[in-house]
A and B are shown apart, each in its own frame.
Chain A
Amino acid sequence: MPSQPAALAARLPLTGTAPPPREAMAVATLSVLAVLAPLVLGVLSLAPNRLLSPRAAAMPQTAGVIICLGLFLGFCLGTALLARRAAWLGWAELAAALALCALLAGIGVAAGEVLRDASPAARATPAAGFWMAMLLLALAAGCCAAGRGGTPRNFMVAVVLGFGLLWAAGLLGNLSVAREASARGAEIRAAAIQHLGLSGSALLLALAVSLPLSLLALRHRKLEAALMGVANGFQVVPSIALFGLLMGPLGALVSWAPGLRDWGVGGIGPAPAVLGIAVYLLLPLCSAFLAGLRVVPPALIDAARGQGLTEAGILRRLRIPLGLGVMLGGLRVAAVQAIGLATLAALIGGGGLGTLVFQGIGQLATDLILLGVLPMVALSLLADGGCAALQAALERGP
């Protein structure tokens, strides 16, 4: 039973101030650290050319840079303050995104200023403090989202929009990554499309295998045990080893039936990559399908059977509609995993964004690594967010 004053306070929401949500402390700490990181670690560094390693550079004191950094500071403070009210957590997320965009704009403008008096070969790159601030702001947004019980949707949408605007305004063009990106624009687009193709076809293949098998396993205990055993066993094998193991048999298959080569099958290339990725998706998909199909209590199934519903009818009208949320959860995990795993496809000649990453590793070129990793992380966050939105829409619906 609540005590008298507490009950009164609950009835009069305007008079008492609500206690800050438990996220407030974490968000405030992260925002303060995000402000400190650029000060301690530096924001901008300058390299004489593409091959020499960069050195820390002072931020130029022009009006544009100072405005951007002031906005960054303000939005960081705003994030910390807004997070003190549970109802404002969504706005705090937005403030974190704006702080991130302000810092991005700041180094974009600063890069232009610094490069004006440098040689044309010089390159301006973000320094460790910048990346640290980005990471801390993303974590702060994640905390806010956790407080609202969801994914950091506001943050992601605002960051994507802000980034697009800054890019369109040409503010980022002087950064080394942006120069590398515009020099390799077509290559990156092709790699991203390949990446989506690899993960998408792996997901389709895994779906095509796991859907019928899950339906069968629902009735046959032995098949279920075997299916989960196989899926679990594959999960243990490191992906790099599985890709290597698939190369041999597929190569042998092609030398036995050379006609398959026209279909893109071979020991090297997309075929072993798609097959390898699909194998890892069996576990999340099958376990979610089986769990989803079993959401309906057995008593309800019995009742439906008693009313004369056929097994197919039970499946269509009860099991699938009621278990769809759980099944989508499995699809979400599988989609994110597929996008991550497709990075390794480049090792066996499968293409995708991993190509840029491994090229960057080979040349120790940070820009190239970033151009591979950033779109990949963006893709997996988008896939995750998309599936989450679909799930939420289903739960809200009938």
Chain B
Amino acid sequence: MRALLANLLLFGAAMVAAPYLGPLWHALFPEVSRPVWDSPGWFSLLGEHLMLSLGATLIAAILGLGAAILATRPAGRALRPLLDAVFSLAQAVPPVAAIALSLPLLGFGAAPTLLALVLYAALPVMRSAVGGLDAVPAPVLDAARGTGMGSARILAQVELPLALPVIQAGLRVALVLAIATTAVGAVAGARCLGTPIVTGLANGNPSWVLQGAIFTAWLALIADQALRLGLGRHSG
């Protein structure tokens, strides 16, 4: 926990300091005339990055959980093979391809990225929720039915609480995945921490690329660190 807080503080301090480190970037990239990234500030990029990832994870959580609940009902068993097929198809199409394909339909900006993020983040949520709901022991369900509980109450008061740790783990994985994948959205014009990378590559400015890459990678590592912390607490 302390390591995570220290890392977060360091990350924030670096974001504050980055625009004032002109001499450093000048020394690293002497051939670049404007090596300091300043147009949208780092914190506004970070904010939009997090908004996109959090929003996508929220939508993905609702969709994924809904699909998982449906697929684990007796009437919804038929959904299972469909979920398997979606999983294997999604594996063959990387997020950047999904973003590129939805671009003509949705236009430049955050929308194609949001769509791709929702699709890819829904997969771990769905997988973990199906696993968690499947793992509820049958005798427990029988006992619940025996006490006269209806299927809706069994779901809300027995199945979901028992599956909660597994579902939470899936949600955390989805959030980390979304935070890392959001950066790619910059190629479709979404404003995020990937924006300096893409702008720098387009304008031949390696200094912007480096700064964007550092913050993007750093944020992803922080998210992963937080994920490990959260998972460790639950399992241990």
Residues on A facing B (Cβ under 8 Å):
22-27, 29-30, 128, 138-143, 145-147, 151, 233, 236-245, 247-248, 251, 267, 336, 340-341, 343-344, 347-348, 354, 357-358, 360-361, 364, 366, 369-370, 372-373, 376-377, 380-381, 384
Contacts and interface: CB of A to CB of B under 8 A. Distances in A.
A361 B194 contact: no
16 contacts: A142-B88, A143-B82, A236-B223, A237-B217, A240-B183, A240-B213, A244-B200, A267-B206, A340-B96, A347-B198, A354-B96, A358-B187, A360-B100, A364-B103, A364-B108, A373-B100
A208 B78 CA distance: 44
B96 A357 contact: yes
A336 B90 CA distance: 11
A260 B62 CA distance: 52
Contact of B183 (A24, A238, A245, A361): A238
- Which 4 residue pairs spanning A and B have beta carbons closest together? A142-B85, A244-B213, A25-B78, A340-B94
B167 interface: no
Nearest to A341: B94
Contacts of A372: 100
Contact of A236 (B88, B89, B108, B180): B180
User: Most A CB atoms within 10 A — which of B86, B105, B186, B201?
Assistant: B201
A238 B220 contact: yes
B100 A237 contact: no
B46 to A, nearest CB: 14
A146 B84 contact: yes
Interface in B76-122: 77-82, 84-86, 88-89, 91-94, 96-97, 100-101, 103-105, 108
A376 B92 CA distance: 9
B212 interface: yes
- The prevalent SS among residues of A at the interface is helix
User: Most B CB atoms within 10 A — which of A143, A151, A243, A343?
Assistant: A143
Contact of A23 (B81, B89, B94, B223): B81
Contacts of A239: 184
Contact of B197 (A27, A29, A244, A341): A244
Nearest to A372: B100
Given A146-B84, A267-B206, A369-B101, A236 B92 contact: no
B86 A139 contact: yes
A26 B206 contact: no
A247 B224 contact: no
B127 to A, nearest CB: 14
A17 B80 CA distance: 23
A357 B97 contact: yes
B209 interface: yes
Nearest to B215: A241
A26 B79 contact: yes
Nearest to A365: B104
B214 interface: yes
Nearest to A349: B201
B31 to A, nearest CB: 10
Nearest to A142: B85
Contacts of A360: 100
B182 to A, nearest CB: 8
Contact of A237 (B77, B108, B221): B221
Contacts of A27: 81
B123 interface: no
A340 B216 contact: no
A139 B92 CA distance: 13
Given A240-B194, A240-B197, A373 B101 contact: yes
A238 B100 contact: no
Nearest to A360: B100
Given A142-B85, A340-B96, 18 more contacts: A26-B79, A26-B80, A27-B81, A128-B105, A138-B85, A138-B89, A141-B85, A143-B82, A151-B88, A240-B197, A242-B217, A245-B213, A245-B214, A247-B209, A248-B206, A348-B201, A357-B100, A366-B104
Nearest to A28: B78
A122 B75 CA distance: 49
Contacts of B210: 244-245, 247-248
A235 to B, nearest CB: 9
B128 interface: no
Contact of A377 (B28, B85, B92, B200): B92
Contacts of B81: 22-23, 26-27, 142-143, 146-147
B57 interface: no
Contacts of B171: none
B97 A24 contact: no
Interface in B153-212: 176, 180-181, 183-184, 186-188, 194, 197-198, 200-201, 206, 209-210, 212
Contacts of B183: 238, 240-241
Given A236-B180, A240-B194, A247-B209, A139 B82 contact: yes
